[in-house]
Amino acid sequence: MVGKVTVAPGIFLWREKFSLLQQKDLLAEVMQKLDEAPLYRPVMPGTGKPFSVEESNFGALGWVSDKSGYRYQPTHPVTATPWPAIPQALLDLWEEINGTPPPQCCLINHYRGAAKMGPHQDRDENDTSAAVIGVSLGDEAMFRIGGKFVDGTWARGGKTLGVRLASGDVIAFGGVARLAFHGIDRIWPGSSRLVPGGGRLSLTLRRVTR
């Protein structure tokens, strides 16, 4: 275990921030909460093309995508019930990194096989003062972040940075990097045995409102 590593301005990495035992405990809690708020497959706004990942959320506000657009909402789009609470270990992690106020959303992404996530910005939040924090569980993945930072804003293109994330790793992007483009190029199926049935779960914590 090593401490905080600065990979670029505003982008920080903690390798194996969660020990194997902590990963197992966290995963058990996540799986239990996913029984309440099952993973489902969102579709792209407009086109209705299905995501290659499955998603769910914990917290007061969940991020969803459907034909009408991207938004935050307090209930699961399939079950129509409120999202389960964010696990305490993740609230503690947030407090350690970002302090208060606490996160309102924990987005869960489940990657299997060829699933990936195209480059995008997290910009559906009214409050972008806190860093976005991502926890990886299961298979390794290539996280790509960057783009062009010109005149104080991020655009597509430019130099990107690939960070290979393993189970238990934590990445945070805030400050000048809060609105940087980022995505997941690929995962390495079978590189971890943590997640039952295989794959990678990412847990992304965000503050949404001011």
Smallest separation (angstroms) from ligand SIN to the CB of 112: 13
The neighbour count for residue 24, using CB atoms within 10 Å, is 13
Smallest separation (angstroms) from ligand SIN to the CB of 1: 20
Would you state the structure tokens that stand for residue 158, as one six-digit string? 């430019």
Q: Where are the beta strands (DSSP E) in 74-127?
A: 105-111, 117-120
Q: Which residues contact 152 (CB under 8 A, 6 or more apart)?
A: none
Would you state the structure tokens that stand for residue 157, as one six-digit string? 């293109």
Smallest separation (angstroms) from ligand SIN to the CB of 151: 24
Regarding 128 and contact with ligand SIN (CB under 6 A), the answer is no
The interface region with Fe ion, picked from 64-72, 120-128, 146-154, 163-171 by CB under 5 A, is: 120-128
Contacting residue, 104, 109, 128, 167, with ligand SIN by CB under 6 A: 109
Q: Which residue lies nearer to ligand SIN by CB, 76 or 108?
A: 108
Q: Which residue lies nearer to ligand SIN by CB, 53 or 84?
A: 53
Contacting residue, 105, 170, 202, 208, with ligand SIN by CB under 6 A: 202
Regarding 54 and contact with Fe ion (CB under 5 A), the answer is no
Contacting residue, 58, 84, 86, 122, with Fe ion by CB under 5 A: 122
The neighbour count for residue 179, using CB atoms within 10 Å, is 19
Listed residue (117, 110, 116, 138) closest to 39, CA to CA: 110
Regarding 184 and contact with ligand SIN (CB under 6 A), the answer is yes
C-beta nearest to ligand SIN: residue? 202
What is the C-alpha to C-alpha distance for residues 172 and 145, in angstroms, rounded to an integer? 11
What is the C-alpha to C-alpha distance for residues 204 and 109, in angstroms, rounded to an integer? 8
Listed residue (168, 164, 140, 166) closest to 25, CA to CA: 168
Provide the CA 75 distance to its chain's centre, in angstroms.
19
Q: Which residue lies nearer to Fe ion by CB, 25 or 185?
A: 185
Q: Which residue lies nearer to Fe ion by CB, 127 or 193?
A: 127
Q: Is the Cα dihedral 85, 18, 94, 40 positive or negative? A: negative
Q: Which residues form the interface with ligand SIN (CB under 6 A)?
A: 107, 109, 117, 134, 143, 182, 184, 202, 204
Site residues, Fe ion (CB under 5 A): 122
